[in-house]
Amino acid sequence: MKLFSRKKKTGAETGEQVVLLIEGMHCGSCGLLIDDELEELAQVRSAATDVRAGRSVVVLEEGSDSDTAALVAVVEAAGEYTARLAG
């Protein structure tokens, strides 16, 4: 009988989510490129870009500051994309 159980928390449970609206994506490779670039940032746990929806859901590391300007800058530097914070 287990007295204690440890459930591993996912990024969505532990980190803040930021949604970016992105224009200029044309294919799945655009989404993969943006995910890779965002995930290079220390504050980003994961990124999931939906090209058809024109948005990226970014999960930040727990306790990190949500520097949304840095997220937007990384997306726009990756190619001919424009990005802004949703909402």
pLDDT confidence of residue 77 = 98
Considering the chain, what is the average pLDDT of its residues? 88
Asked if the model's pLDDT at residue 78 lies above 60, the reply is: yes
Identify the residue with better confidence: 5 or 31. Answer: 31
Q: Going by C-beta distance under 8 Å and a sequence separation of 6 or more, which residues neighbour residue 27?
A: 51
All domains of the chain, ordered by start, with CATH?
Answer: 16-85 (3.30.70.100)
pTM: 0.82
Instruction: Give residue 9's pLDDT band: very low, low, confident or very high (50, 70, 90).
Output: very low
CA distance 20 to 79: 15
How would DSSP label each residue in 37-62? HHHTSTTEEEEEEETTTTEEEEEEPT
Q: 43-59 pLDDT, tens per residue? A: 999 999 999 999 999 99
